[in-house]
Every structure is written in C-alpha cells, then in structure tokens.
Amino acid sequence: MSLRTPLSRVLWRGTAKNGTGHFWGQRVSGVALVLLGLWFAGSMTTISGSVHADALAFIGAPLNGVLLLLLSVTIAYHSHIGVQVVIEDYVHGHGLNMISLIVSRFAHSLLAVISVYAIFKIGLGA
Amino acid sequence: MSNNGRPLSPHLSIYRWPITMTMSILHRATGLALTVGFIVLTAWLFAVASGAEAYSVFTSYMDTVAGKIMLVGWSFTFFFHLSNGVRHFVWDFGRGFERPQANASAWFVLLLAIASTALFWWLRL
C-alpha cells in the first residue's frame, strides 16, 4: 500500500527509488578503476612514449585492446558522474546548471566514442 | 546577511585547518584534474590511430617542459585519487572514522601517493 497522496503521484513527485544508484555507480566503477588503473600505470612504465610503432603494438595487442576499452569506458562513466556532482554543488542557477550537465554529458560521450573508435581502429589494423 | 547580534554556529574559518579537510578537497580537485587527463589519454589513443605523423605532433606537445610537468602532475593525481578512493572504501565499510585513524590514514595516503609517483617515474625512466 502506498502512503503517497493521489496528487503527489499525479505530479510525479517524491522518491524515484534510485537515490542510491549514483552512490553505487561511483563505488563499483571505482573498484574496477583501481584494477584497470594499476594495470595501465604498470603498462606505461614498460612502453616508450615517443615511438609510434611501440604504442601501436601495445594498443594493438588483443588483451591490451580489451583492457583499454574497459578502462576508457569506465573512466568516462566514473568521470561523468563525478563531474556531475561537482556541477550540482557549484554551478548555481537552473539554466546554467542544466547546460553544464548537458555539456559534460556530451563531452564524456564524445571522449568515450573517440577512445573506443581509436582502439578498434588500431586493433583491427584498419 | 543581517545578524542582529545573534550567535553564529562556527564555520570553516573558526577551526584549525586539519589534514582531513585538505584530503577531502584534494580528492575532488584530483578527480577534476584526472578528467582533463582523460582528454589527454583519448588524444593519445586518437593520435596513435591517426598515424606516425599525427603521433609526432602529439609527442612534440608532450615533450615540452609544460607537457612533462603535466604528465608528472597527472601521475601524482592518479595515485592520490586511487589511494584516497581506497580510503573512502574503508569508510564505506564503517571503519576508520575515529579522528586519530582518519588523520593517520590521511598522511598515509598522501605519502603513498608521493612514493607511488616516484616509483612510477623511476621505473619508467
């Protein structure tokens, strides 16, 4: 039985039942990034930054490609919801707040797509 | 803001600045810095995919003094955010909230981040 008034239900106010989703998303992606991030940092100690062929070979190796895909997409997600909290805290005014959130979402989507495209292009040797 | 001589509850400026406050702010600041780092990671992947010529343009930017300082900065922010993130996980399980524990873990995370950064560049160079 719901204790909410019919008016509140009609207006779609009240709990959306996903109040902790953000919290969990940040934690779970954080755990994944501890592992993926340490792998990436470790890998970056082994490859030379300046030689194109080395970078190509590293990203093109299947296991590295898969892990880099996971890394990029997980960073995009983790960063997106992190930046969202910062915007909600510091950017006041409804309009500017909403525009900032949309710009952040577009930017993170763009970065994720560029990364995924680049990794696939290198991995498939296209 | 009118006060009418009524007492105010103490705010940030009243307290001695504790290390835990610095860590809290740095966690957010390093998070934002890492978002910028993600742009550079993406640029790296895209430059590699674009071929040797485009890649040399990318590395020429990274090889400048400013580029190197930023790379060292990002490596530190990465290790800091990661270590302090684990500190937050411990809190999520309800442990380490006592003041001496929180202060000790703050210093531990800070030193660990500096040591990890040093180790990373020692291994890399």
Domain assignment present for B1: no
Query: CA-CA distance, A75 to A14, in Å (whole number)?
Result: 31
Asked if the model's pLDDT at residue B80 lies above 60, the reply is yes
Domains of chain A by start residue, with CATH = 20-123 (1.20.1300.10)
Q: Are B43 and B83 in contact (CB under 8 A)?
A: no
CA distance B35 to chain A (A): 6
Domain assignment present for B8: no
What would the pLDDT profile of A20-49 be if each residue is shown by its tens digit? 888 999 999 999 999 999 999 999 999 877
Q: What is the CATH number of the domain that holds B114?
A: 1.20.1300.10
CA A83 to chain centre: 10
Q: Which domain holds residue B85?
A: 18-124
Asked if the model's pLDDT at residue B1 lies above 60, the reply is no
Nearest to A39 by CA among A14, A17, A61: A61
According to the model, what pLDDT value does residue A21 have?
86
Domain assignment present for B9: no
Interface residue B124 vs chain A (CB under 8 A)? yes
Query: CA-CA distance, B81 to A22, in Å (whole number)?
Result: 18
According to the model, what pLDDT value does residue A5 have?
73
Domain assignment present for B7: no
According to the model, what pLDDT value does residue A57 have?
95
DSSP B63: T
ipTM of the complex: 0.89
Residues 6+ apart with CB under 8 A from A75: A33, B34, B38, B41
Domain assignment present for B119: yes
What would the pLDDT profile of A80-126 be if each residue is shown by its tens digit? 999 999 999 999 999 999 999 999 999 999 999 999 999 999 999 86
A66 is written with which tokens? Answer: 């898969």
pTM: 0.88
Domain assignment present for B2: no
Interface residue A87 vs chain B (CB under 8 A)? no
* Structure-derived torsion over alpha carbons of residues B99, B100, B105, B108, reported in degrees to the nearest 10: 140
According to the model, what pLDDT value does residue B35 have?
98
What domain count does chain B have?
1
Q: Is residue A17 very low, low, confident or very high in pLDDT (cuts 50, 70, 90)?
A: low
Asked if the model's pLDDT at residue B123 lies above 80, the reply is yes
Asked if the model's pLDDT at residue B103 lies above 60, the reply is yes
According to the model, what pLDDT value does residue B3 have?
66
Interface residue A96 vs chain B (CB under 8 A)? no
Task: Name which residue leads in pLDDT, A1 or B69.
Answer: B69
Overall average pLDDT of the A56-70 stretch: 97
Domain assignment present for B5: no
Interface residue B57 vs chain A (CB under 8 A)? no
Query: CA-CA distance, A92 to B107, in Å (whole number)?
Result: 34
Backbone angles phi, psi at B93, to 5 degrees: -90, 10
Domain assignment present for B76: yes
According to the model, what pLDDT value does residue B47 have?
97
Q: Taking the CB of residue B34, how many other CB atoms lie within 10 A of it? A: 22
Chain A's closest residue to B118, CA to CA, is: A45
Residues 6+ apart with CB under 8 A from A12: none
Check B31 against A79: CB less than 8 A apart: yes
Chain B's closest residue to A26, CA to CA, is: B85
